[in-house]
Each structure stands twice: as structure tokens, then as C-alpha cells.
Chains A and B, each alone.
Chain A
Amino acid sequence: MLVLGQDEKAKYPFLADAGEYLKDKGFSLVQFGSDPVLKLSVEKALHRIKVAAAGEVYKSDLIDGQASKDYVLEREVFSFLLAIVLIKLTGMSTLIKRFALAEARRAENYLEKDLGNASNKSKIDLATRIIYDLFNIEIIKEEDFFVIPVSDYLRHSVTFHEREWKLINRHVENGKVFLTPDKTVRLIRKELGNYISSKIINAPKPSMIPGLESIVNELILISKKLTPTYTITTGEYPPCIKHAIDVLEKGENLPHSGRFMLATFLLSRGQTVQQIAPLFKNAPDYNPRVTLYQLNHLAGTSGSATKYACPSCEKLKTQDLCFITKECDNIINPLQFGKKRKL
């Protein structure tokens, strides 16, 4: 277990054991509903959640990552712990997601500074220890870079869609990837968010604290305003699907991966196996029995009952099946083509 200094607890409050921290300081949760001095921490917690709900990162009272006075530090940690209590009391999952993301971004800033702090080895050590303890990634400092095994890099970077995160766009040598402090930290952003949200989800739900009812209700209102989105669909096929249909119509050979894409796409769009099967009749190796067997397999109506999903754009690029146009509009799966998100 990590032993944290005073400042570290303020920077990374999610590492502190909430119950123990309060007990150590001689407080109970109920006091926060009534004690006027402690109410300052409640207000700070409310502010912290509101900022997160608005998609921004809360700026703490720390100066250069240091707490100037003990009470500043205390309030930093209290406000984090109380924010979790308040969110639990609202029971709104949207708030958990937004808060966890914002807190992860905030911690990311500190981790990045600590890693980039060439003059202070202990800070670097702590940051690398946090990353190792929480996410099991061993990071070694090599001159100005942090190096991690290629396999660890891939495990985390595969979820990113920006091209700069592709392995080809990194310096790779001898089984290691070389990263700057900001990229190192960015790599674990999602996990950091997941870690914080799982801490919130797994925290026991407290009973209502007298005096905090109105704040909780205010947060519920904020959260409700955030939620609804709906989409409209044009119904047109994306270029990859059009291309696949073209190839088949011409009687040319569409590779297995292309047939898989086409079939899973159309199945997801609600077409039936009987509607899809005739598309393949021009294929050079068409066999109606095999086609029906394979389509039923993909639809999950035979075999293991697994329904196969349409491959992502990233995968289709690798398979040379992507024919991107500007209408694709940064989608990550062909099924999203033509769907416009409306707030």
C-alpha cells in the first residue's frame, strides 16, 4: 500500500481511505450537515461536483501542488470525500461518470507535473509507484522519457481513436515504447477515471444527512438536465458497405472479412438472414447452403448463439475494407454512419 504525504493526499484524494481519514481527524459525516465551519467543505464539495458536471476540471487551492496550510489540505480532501457522499445520495450515474472523469483529469495534471519534475526524484518515484500499484504498468525513466513495454502500451492505447496513438507513431525500440510525461499519463486516463468511478460505485450509500437535503436535490436537478440525447438516422449505407455490395454485384470476389462486415452490418440494421442471403449469389464460390449456415451463425440463430457485431472502422482499415469519405464524420463504427447526435 502506498504511504502518502500530506500534499499527496490533497493531489490524489482518491488514494486516501475515506472512512479512516475522517476518523483520524475526529469527525463524523453527520457533523457536516450542521457544523457551520464544516459547511464550508460541503460548499466546496458542491462546487467540485458542479464544475465536473459542466465538463470542466476543478481548480484546487493548492499552490504548485503544495498545501499552504494544514486546513487547506484538509478541506481539499474533505471536499472530495463529501462530493462522493453527495453523489451517492443523489444516486445519479451521470454525475458519477462526469465527476470521475473530471477528477481523473485533475489527478492527471498532478501526475504529469510529478513525472516531468526532473529535479525531484521522489516525486517521480511516487508517480510511477501510483501508476504501478493502480494499473500494473511498470514505467522506467530513461533520460527524458518514460519507457514501457510495447504490450502494456498496446493494452491501453487500443481504445484511443486518434492516429497519433497508433504504435507506428511512437518511438519503439527493443520491445519498449518511449513516452513523454504527458503521454504517459494520458495513456492511463481512462483507467484512472474507471478507478475513481469504481471507488464511488463501491462506496456504501450513506443515509441522508440532515441539513444536506436541499443540496442533494439541487444536484439531482443538475444531473437530469444533462442526460437526454437522441439520434436521427438517414438510412444511407456507409462507403465501406456500398463498396462491398458493389463488388458482389459485379460478381467479383469479396474477401471473407468483407462478407463478415457486410452481413453483420445488415443484421444489425435489422435485416433478416433471408433478406441478406441473395446478396452473395454472384460470389464466385457461392454455395446457398454454406451462405445460409454462415449467416445464421453470425445472427446467433445457430451454433453458439453469439450474435456477431459489426467490426469497428479501425479494424476495417486494417483489413483494407475502409473507403472513408468526409460523410463518415469521425464515426468509429459503420453502424454510426448517418446518425446525427442531437442534444
Chain B
Amino acid sequence: MNEIDTKFLEDSFKKYYFNHFDLISSPEHTSEREFGYQKFNSGMFRHISLKDEKELHLLFMQNIPSDVYCSNAYYSFPNSPMNEKDWKEADLIFDIDAKDLNLSCRKNHTISICNECNEVSKDVNQCVKCNSTKLEKKSLPCKNCIDASKIEVNKLSNVLIDDLGIDKENIYVYFSGNEGFHVYVFNSQFQKIGSKERSELVDYIMFRGAIPETFGMKKFKPNRSSFPDFNQKGWNGRFSKQVFGSKSKRSKIISELLNNGYSSFQKILDDVSENIGVKIDPNVTMDIHRIFRLPGSINSKSGLTKILCTNLTKFDPYTDACFLNDDSVEVLANCPIEFKLKNKKFGPYINEKISLPTYAAVYLICKKLATIA
């Protein structure tokens, strides 16, 4: 990123942090967390420990970071190298990202930027100008992406509450600042479990690794009575709703399942997993040493804020997470698709010089689709 763009982003971020520090709450057990941050055009600074909110404030003001992160883990010595930190426990965190949901809308709002010649085009696998395959993909997620992500968040909450016994009050949903949501679970029985155990939990939530016997299909002498029913709790109930549809169809479908046999049932389980399994990013939940974007901080991929969603249904990231000001700036924009921020439509812009409010200019510059004119 060129110096002028960097300076503009830093100034805009600084203003936000100055005016909205109330949105950044230091996490519980601040002094036991590892913090990290990035500056524009620079690498990651990690293994930082902070005593309290004051020190956190200072970190923002002194460094004007592009991104700030905080561990889900609690350590005895958060600023020591990883193997000397003395891991104690970690909050359980899930990442739901629109890009992992195989949505058909994605191709309409994904842009390819060629690493060789910087040509910007709508989603392609090869640069239209120089034929290079080294492309950087940028997405401007649409309402459909956000709605589909919300559905996954709700599916996740159901499994967490009904199956895993988590109190609703201990589940916090944050908009990630870009294309999805981070779901935090505090004070659960899972605080102290390690990475392997979390990976098993992930498979449970994603409905992966199910065997036919679990859902009533025995290998030898299968019978009708062992199949699940609608009123059952957990995956049995959800499986019934998905596979049988309605009570009247249950009996007929069980007959079909029995006729088709064991291996075809396994295939059904794998297919069903796509629909009823919750689409979380497994690597995120398994990682007990990861640092996560700090709630209240800006995501430099978009200029939007990672923010707590108190009412998920009504939440609209393009108004509720967009906090930068409206001061007008001149940019040279090259964004072949339309987008909406603060209820205002922008674009498409084909290599044109235009005047945009700061929040929209930041959004495009963060996506590498504009530069300050």
C-alpha cells in the first residue's frame, strides 16, 4: 500500500479509536491474555501482555494499529515465548465465515486482482490482461452472505444450548468486521479442554463422522424400531426433521432406507451433514493458542468494526458496524461491482476519480480497489 493511502487509513482509524474507545472493552482476565497487533505495511507484533484497559488504550494511541488481536487463552506468562507461557485455559470460539458456505452469490461479488499486473476484474481464474494465475481474491459480501451466516450462528447456538448445556447468557456473537461472525462461549465446562478435544467437539457440531448405527441403521438385521424420531433431543431429532420431513412420511422413508441398505445410509449421513451440520471453521476452534481480532477494533480488510450483536436478526453490518465519518475524500476507484454502506449505494466504478465519504473510501482502499487521488 502506498504511503498516502496508509496515512489516510491511519488517520481515519485514529479518529475512530479516539472517539469510540467505549466500544473496545478489555476482555476478562486482561492481564492473563496475549495481545498482538499489526501496523499497516508491517508484520505482526505478538506476545504482548497488558495490565488493564489503560494499557490497552495506550497501545491503540501509540501504535495506530491496522489490526489488534487478543488470545482466547489465559496464560501465567502471556508475554513469554509460546512454549513458556504456561497455558491455563481458553474460551471456546467459533468462526462462521460467508466464504465457507458455498453460496451461489459469491461469484457475483468476488473480484480478482492480478498480483503481476494489478488488473482488477470480476471473479476469474486467470488474469484477463496478462494470463497470470497468481490472483488475489477480494469479496464484497452481500446481504445474502450475511443472512446465510446468521442462519449458521443460530444453528450453532441451538447445538451449544440444547446439546452441550451452555447457558444462553454465556454465548456472545460478534460480527467479525468482514464476512462473518465470531461466536464466543465463556465459563463453560470446555474452558480447560485441549486442542484434540476441541477438534472432536467441532466434528460433533459440524455433524461429521456419524456412523449408520447411531441413527438406527444396523449392519446386520436392521429393524424399524431403532430409527430416530422427531421428539428426540440432539442430532437424532434434527436428523429426523431433515430426513423424514414430516411425521406422515416417516414410516415410508424408513422402509426405503431399509431397502437401500447400510452403505447407502452412510451416504445419506454424509449428505445430511452438508445441510444440518453447522458450517464453522474447524481450525479456529481447535486452536488454543490463537489470537483473535479484539472486539471493538477495526478490521483492516474492510474498515468495519468487529462488534457485539445484541440483536442478531436485525443486525446489519453495513450500518451497525460502520463507524467511520462522512468527510468527503477524492479517490481513484476501480471497483467493478456495486456495494452498500450506511444505506447508501456505491459503484460500480471503472478507473474513475470520484469523491466518497471517508467510510466508503476506507472500505475500497482496504479492499485494494481504490487509492487516494
- B235 with A151: CB separation less than 8 A: no
- B209 with A166: CB separation less than 8 A: yes
Known: A251-B133, A284-B133. A176 touches B165 (CB 8 A): yes
> Does B259 count as interface, using CB distance less than 8 angstroms?
no
- Kindly state the separation between the CA atoms of A166 and B201 in the bound complex, as whole angstroms: 9
> Does B291 count as interface, using CB distance less than 8 angstroms?
no
Known: A166-B209, A257-B283, A284-B134. A175 touches B165 (CB 8 A): yes
> Does A183 count as interface, using CB distance less than 8 angstroms?
no
How many of chain A's residues have a CB under 8 angstroms from any CB in B?
33
- B189 with A169: CB separation less than 8 A: no
- A169 with B213: CB separation less than 8 A: yes
Identity of the chain A residue whose Cβ is nearest the Cβ of B82 in the assembled complex: A304
> Does A194 count as interface, using CB distance less than 8 angstroms?
no
Identity of the chain B residue whose Cβ is nearest the Cβ of A250 in the assembled complex: B133
- Kindly state the separation between the CA atoms of A285 and B132 in the bound complex, as whole angstroms: 13
- A151 with B189: CB separation less than 8 A: yes
- B234 with A150: CB separation less than 8 A: no
- Kindly state the separation between the CA atoms of A188 and B154 in the bound complex, as whole angstroms: 35
Known: A171-B234, A172-B164, A175-B164. A318 touches B189 (CB 8 A): no
For B240-276 the 0/1 string (1 means CB < 8 A from A) is 0000000000000000000000000000000000000
Which A residues touch B201, using CB under 8 A?
Answer: 150, 154, 167
Which A residues touch B339, using CB under 8 A?
Answer: none
Query: Interface segment, B27-35, B172-180, B191-199, B353-361?
Result: B191-199
Name which of A164, A172, A304, A317 has the most chain B CB atoms within 10 A of its CB: A172
- B115 with A284: CB separation less than 8 A: yes
> Does A163 count as interface, using CB distance less than 8 angstroms?
yes
- Pick the contact of A168 from B134, B204, B233, B283 — CB < 8 Å? B204
- Kindly state the separation between the CA atoms of A87 and B270 in the bound complex, as whole angstroms: 49
- Pick the contact of B211 from A158, A164, A256, A304 — CB < 8 Å? A164
- Kindly state the separation between the CA atoms of A143 and B306 in the bound complex, as whole angstroms: 46
**A72: min CB distance to chain B, Å:** 40
Known: A151-B189, A304-B83. A167 touches B134 (CB 8 A): no
- B192 with A151: CB separation less than 8 A: yes
- B200 with A167: CB separation less than 8 A: yes
* B206-247 interface with A by 8 A CB criterion: 207-211, 213-214, 233-236
- Kindly state the separation between the CA atoms of A155 and B199 in the bound complex, as whole angstroms: 11
Which A residues touch B203, using CB under 8 A?
Answer: 166-168, 318
Identity of the chain A residue whose Cβ is nearest the Cβ of B273 in the assembled complex: A168
Which A residues touch B189, using CB under 8 A?
Answer: 149-151, 175
Identity of the chain A residue whose Cβ is nearest the Cβ of B215 in the assembled complex: A169
- Kindly state the separation between the CA atoms of A172 and B210 in the bound complex, as whole angstroms: 13
Which A residues touch B162, using CB under 8 A?
Answer: 173-174
- Kindly state the separation between the CA atoms of A166 and B196 in the bound complex, as whole angstroms: 12
- B82 with A168: CB separation less than 8 A: no
- Kindly state the separation between the CA atoms of A307 and B353 in the bound complex, as whole angstroms: 52
- Kindly state the separation between the CA atoms of A341 and B89 in the bound complex, as whole angstroms: 39
Which B residues touch A166, using CB under 8 A?
Answer: 200, 203-204, 209-210
* A120-170 interface with B by 8 A CB criterion: 149-151, 154-155, 157-158, 163-164, 166-170
* B7-53 interface with A by 8 A CB criterion: none
> Does B163 count as interface, using CB distance less than 8 angstroms?
yes
> Does A68 count as interface, using CB distance less than 8 angstroms?
no
Which A residues touch B210, using CB under 8 A?
Answer: 166, 168-169
Known: A168-B210, A168-B214, A172-B163. A318 touches B282 (CB 8 A): yes
- A158 with B233: CB separation less than 8 A: no
> Does A306 count as interface, using CB distance less than 8 angstroms?
yes
A-B contact pairs, 25 of them (CB 8 A): A150-B189, A151-B189, A154-B197, A154-B200, A164-B213, A166-B204, A167-B200, A167-B204, A168-B207, A168-B208, A168-B209, A168-B235, A172-B235, A173-B162, A174-B162, A174-B165, A175-B166, A175-B189, A251-B133, A251-B134, A284-B115, A304-B82, A315-B199, A318-B203, A319-B283
9 closest residue pairs by CB, A with B: A175-B165, A154-B197, A167-B204, A169-B214, A151-B189, A174-B165, A166-B209, A158-B196, A173-B233
Additional pairs, 13, CB under 8 Å, beyond known A157-B200, A318-B202:
A151-B192, A164-B214, A167-B200, A167-B201, A168-B208, A168-B210, A168-B214, A172-B234, A174-B162, A175-B164, A175-B189, A284-B135, A318-B203
